[in-house]
Amino acid sequence: MAKNKEIVELKNGFTRNQARTSPVITEAKTKMTKNQLKAFYQCATILQMADNDFFEVIINAKEFSEKLGISKTNDDLKNLCRSLGRISFEVENEEIWEFVLVFSKIKFDKKKDEVSFKFNDEMKPYLLNLQQFTKIHQVKYIMDFESIYAIRFYTLLKDYRLMSQRDFNIEDLNTRFQLPKSYDSYTRFYKYVLKPAIDEINTKSDLWVSEPEIIGKKGKKITDFRLNFRNKAKQMSDDFAEVLLRQYNKFKSFNIFKNCYFFQNEYLVKISKIEFDPNTNFFNAYTNNGINDYSILGSVNKDDFIKKLINGIYLAINHIYENEKKEQIPALQWQDEKDKVKRFKAIYEEWIGFNPL
């Protein structure tokens, strides 16, 4: 990234994956299209937490169009830039109503084959020096969504990333999403907005979202619903831990963990033995360095020991899996969650020499 006081040149295109925006933006009223929202979040990845000001950004037109999934004809690029120059958010609270244009500059230089843009200074409270923010770890998920409502719900749930549920009011969502009046009906809202969004988030992102739970009515009219959601990696970790715990309870032996690998301090270590020391009342897991056994985990509490042991084994399997995936991308088998679970179990079976699962 070439940078002077006022200009940032993205010589390698968009290379950062994360975007941070104020929750005010996540919840704001906007008429942005799917492609405009994608462009906004992609452009926001160039901002870093230490930035105090906006800079003009220059990027190769081909890189820009490919990242946003549009054709690189001059007309298409010009039309996109024209539309981005008009996008805005409506911000409203008890004290103010504000109409905020996102970009102060959008330019397509056909001769240099470059696109340049700069965020509007009025966006500073919503993109820079944020104390609270909606963190999108991987903007690529947003780029894969076909539904604008998947983008809106995904970012709204990411806004509650430290929680596992969020409640919504249909009238409020209709206002935020600028939906037709006919979508006041929950049946139509669910069919054309909510259900497609949930299905796409579950299929294409790092979140798992439940079917809605009805939590509010006025007479027979449904007014409010709740979505439960979890990070898929966390869900898989919990599920796998539950499987291993069931096996331990079935066999009543630490031997089902022997010869497994344990992830510790960024390294994989092989568990050589697990035992209880009656002198110290500690449960200990050991690895062997070729000469001696040394402890890699210990606890006086058995339940705590098993929980930490299983978590370390899960992290070791995930570490191996992720390395395998990097080596074989873009093989399609790594894109399926069922295949991931299958591979996790296979790695565990390879370690212990039989299939207890």
CATH code, domain with 81: 1.10.10.10
Comparing CA positions, the residue from 117, 6, 106, 110 lying closest to residue 55 is 6
Asked, as a colleague might, if the bond just before 125 is cis with ω within 30 of 0, I would say no
Sign for the CA dihedral angle at 288, 289, 290, 293 comes to: negative
Residues 173 and 309 both lie in one domain: no
Domain limit, last residue, from 230, 263, 290:
230
Which residue has tokens 């958010």? Answer: 89
Give the per-residue pLDDT at 334: 41
Domain limit, last residue, from 124, 144, 164:
144
Contacts of 202 (CB under 8 A, 6+ apart): 208, 209
Domain assignment of residue 25, yes or no: yes
Residues 119 and 170 both lie in one domain: no
Greatest CA separation found in the chain?
79
Residues 291 and 341 both lie in one domain: yes
Residues 157 and 36 both lie in one domain: no
Domain assignment of residue 245, yes or no: no
Q: How far apart are CA 353 and CA 209, in angstroms?
A: 36
Are residues 283 and 298 in contact, defined by beta-carbon separation less than 8 angstroms? Answer: yes
**For residue 207, what are the β-bridge partners?**
231
Give the per-residue pLDDT at 217: 95
Sign for the CA dihedral angle at 56, 59, 67, 131 comes to: negative
Can you give the residue range of the structural domain that contains 165?
A: 147-230
Give the per-residue pLDDT at 328: 55
How many structural domains does the chain have? 3
Comparing CA positions, the residue from 64, 69, 70 lying closest to residue 9 is 64
Residues 189 and 267 both lie in one domain: no
Are residues 126 and 120 in contact, defined by beta-carbon separation less than 8 angstroms? Answer: no
Q: What is the pTM of this model?
A: 0.70
The two three-digit tokens of residue 231, written as one number: 């990070």
Give the per-residue pLDDT at 237: 72
Domain assignment of residue 66, yes or no: yes
Strands (E), the chain: 2-3, 7-10, 19-21, 56-60, 88-92, 97-101, 103-109, 114-119, 134-136, 165-169, 207-209, 213-218, 221-231, 261-264, 267-270, 273-277, 282-288, 293-299
Domain assignment of residue 237, yes or no: no
Residues 152 and 266 both lie in one domain: no
- Residue 85 dihedral angles phi and psi, to the nearest 5°: -65, -10
Domain limit, last residue, from 177, 195, 230:
230
Domain assignment of residue 292, yes or no: yes
Distance of CA 146 to CAs 39, 86, 143, 218, Å?
A: 14, 22, 8, 33
Contacts of 304 (CB under 8 A, 6+ apart): none
Which residue has tokens 């009805």? Answer: 214
The two three-digit tokens of residue 196, written as one number: 């497609």
Domain assignment of residue 129, yes or no: yes
Residues 140 and 162 both lie in one domain: no
Residues 125 and 212 both lie in one domain: no
Which residue has tokens 């081909």? Answer: 62
The residue type of 43 is C
- Residue 264 dihedral angles phi and psi, to the nearest 5°: -145, 125
The tens-digit pLDDT sequence of the chain (357 residues) is: 444 458 888 988 898 888 999 999 999 999 999 999 999 999 999 998 889 999 999 999 999 998 888 877 888 889 999 999 999 999 888 888 999 999 999 999 999 999 999 999 999 999 998 888 888 878 989 999 999 999 999 999 988 766 789 999 999 999 999 999 989 999 999 999 999 999 999 988 888 899 999 999 999 999 999 999 988 777 677 777 888 888 888 888 898 898 899 998 888 999 999 999 999 999 999 999 888 899 999 999 999 999 999 989 988 888 887 777 666 544 444 445 556 777 777 888 888 775 555
Are residues 43 and 55 in contact, defined by beta-carbon separation less than 8 angstroms? Answer: no
Pairing mode of beta strands 282-288, 273-277: antiparallel
Give the per-residue pLDDT at 41: 95
Q: What is the DSSP string of 25-46?
A: HHT-B----HHHHHHHHHHHTT
Residues 16 and 47 both lie in one domain: yes
Domain assignment of residue 243, yes or no: no
Neighbours of 275 (CB within 10 A): 12
Q: How far apart are CA 50 and CA 38, in angstroms?
A: 23
Residues 51 and 139 both lie in one domain: yes
Give the per-residue pLDDT at 318: 82
Q: How far apart are CA 188 and CA 186, in angstroms?
A: 6
Comparing CA positions, the residue from 50, 55, 47 lying closest to residue 25 is 47
Residues 136 and 39 both lie in one domain: yes
Are residues 308 and 297 in contact, defined by beta-carbon separation less than 8 angstroms? Answer: yes
Residues 69 and 167 both lie in one domain: no
Give the per-residue pLDDT at 218: 94
Cα angle for residues 351, 356, 357 (degrees, 5° grid): 100
Are residues 251 and 226 in contact, defined by beta-carbon separation less than 8 angstroms? Answer: no
Domain assignment of residue 331, yes or no: yes
